[in-house]
Amino acid sequence: MGQTEISSLGEFGLIDRITQDFPLRNHSSKYGIGDDSAVLEFGDKLTLVTTDLLLEGIHFDLRYVPLKHLGYKAAIVNFSDIYAMNGTPKQITVSLGVSSRFTVEHIEELYDGIRLACEVYGVDLVGGDTSASVTGLVISVTCLGESDKNDVVYRNGAKESDLICVSGDLGAAYMGLQLLERENRVAAQSKEGKNFTPDFSGKEYILERQLKPEARKDVISMLKDKEIKPTSMMDVSDGLSSELLHICKKSNVGCRVFEDKIPIDYQTAIMAEEMNMNLVMTAMNGGEDYELLFTVPLTDHEKVEKLNGISIIGYITNPQLGAAMVTRDGSEIPIIAQGWNAFKKDE
């Protein structure tokens, strides 16, 4: 692969090159890249907007995250926020800060991932900003979505006796990160140097959960099909504990979740064992799962029980009872947020 210095294209040249293969697919995207702003038309739909900032050295490590995967993930985490409102992502803008060690080909790789995510989820790239950066890579993504007026689901609607549900399984992305970091440490110490081959066999699932997460578009469709409207919903990005506390706080309720109901993949369990980590804590606090956490009225019990890939993990209580996990032996331990905190100094 040739390596082209970004300065040889300049800002506008770079933008032209990386945005040429992004057609507009959505009716609501009236005008995309190339003017002072994009122009969108949502008509009688509500517009949803969410944004995420990803910084090299804080949110990702390019030693083990390929740029294409990074682009894909940067888009997905924003789509996930729109699905978590029971909406459909429609447009994104992507701003990049790029230091001089990156070439045009690197940026194209990153955009390959963004393009793939846009194709898979039917989202249009409609704008952005591209600039030099003094240090590492900076990625800022904003996503717009739409929803019918009565469809939006907030975090604040959970009611006492509602069932707490979660899609997929938890903790795998976090264990995937542990695996990548371990293999990276081993590689650094290895005598084989660059010829060192990390051992990922039997761990493909947790690796994929970390490197190529998906947003749960399918869950939103399934809920719509089955005419289930959650009373509250959010995506699991900082870890289940943290998200449960958000729902409890916003809805002014308490909750009980059962340790033995928390869905965990066996690869996650094996990796936690290998790393000598507490499995349930991993699943509760790992983060980056991008699963959907939602509550439904107790009357929907039969409907949700039949749903594929959805686990009922607990129920909503009155606020006085607080948030707690019921362990296998029936005792209760309070849920405290131990999710990822970008400002914690001792990490």
Ranges within 78-97 binding a second copy (CB under 8 A): 81-82, 84-85, 87, 91, 93, 95-97
User: Residue 23, interface with a second copy (CB under 8 A)?
Assistant: no
Residue of 212, 217, 250, 261 interacting with a second copy (CB under 8 A):
250
Please tell me what DSSP assigns to residue 205: H
Write out the two tokens for 219. Answer: 């869950």
CA-CA-CA-CA torsion sign (84, 89, 95, 99) = positive
Structure tokens at 239: 């870890």
Give DSSP secondary structure letters for 160-197.
TTPEEEEES-SSHHHHHHHHHHHHHHHHHH-TTGGG--
* Cβ distance to a second copy smaller for residue 173 or 271: 173
Choose the binding region for a second copy from 134-142, 158-166, 218-226, 309-317 (rule: CB under 8 A): 134-142
Choice between 84 and 272, CB closer to a second copy: 84
Please tell me whether residue 240 binds a second copy under the rule CB under 8 A: no
Q: Is residue 154 within the footprint of a second copy (CB under 8 A)?
A: yes
What's the per-residue H, E or C state across 181-245? Answer: HHHHHHHHHCCCHHHCCCCCCCCHHHHHHHHCCCCCHHHHHHHHHCCCCCCEEEECCCCHHHHHH
45-74 binders of a second copy (CB under 8 A): 46-53, 55-59
Applying CB under 8 A, which of residues 108, 235, 265, 300 lies at the interface with a second copy? 235
Closer to a second copy by Cβ: residue 267 or 285: 285
Nearer of residues 39 and 333 to a second copy, judged by Cβ: 39
| DSSP reduced 3-state for 230 | coil
Site for a second copy, residues 98 to 117, rule: CB under 8 A: 100
Q: Are strands 88-98 and 124-132 parallel, antiparallel or unpaired?
A: parallel
Dig out the tokens for 137 from the structure: 């890579």
Structure-block tokens of residue 58: 């804080």
78 or 267: whose CB is closer to a second copy? 78
Strand, coil or helix: 14: helix
Number of residues that bind a second copy (CB under 8 A): 74
Residues of this chain, 196-215, that bind a second copy according to CB under 8 A:
none
For a second copy, which stretch binds (CB under 8 A), given 139-147, 223-231, 274-282, 325-333? Answer: 139-147
Q: Is 155 a residue that touches a second copy (CB under 8 A)?
A: yes
Q: Is the CB of 20 or the CB of 341 nearer to a second copy?
A: 341
- In 3D, which of 277, 69, 265 has the Cα closest to residue 178? 277
**Interface mask (CB under 8 A) for a second copy, residues 279-318, using x and -?**
----------------------------------------
Q: Indicate the DSSP class of residue 335.
A: -
Q: What is the DSSP string of 43-105?
A: TTSEEEEEEEEEEBTTTB-TTTS-HHHHHHHHHHHHHHHHHTTT-EEEEEEEEEEE-TT-BHH
The continuous run of DSSP H or E covering 110 comes out as helix 104-121
Among 24, 116, 120, 152, binds a second copy (CB under 8 A): 152
Binding mask 162-191 for a second copy (x = CB under 8 A): ------------------------------
Tokens 């578009």, located at residue: 217
Q: How far is the CB of 323 from a second copy (least distance, A)?
A: 15
Distance between CA atoms of residues 287 and 285, nearest Å = 6
252 is a contact residue toward a second copy (CB under 8 A): no
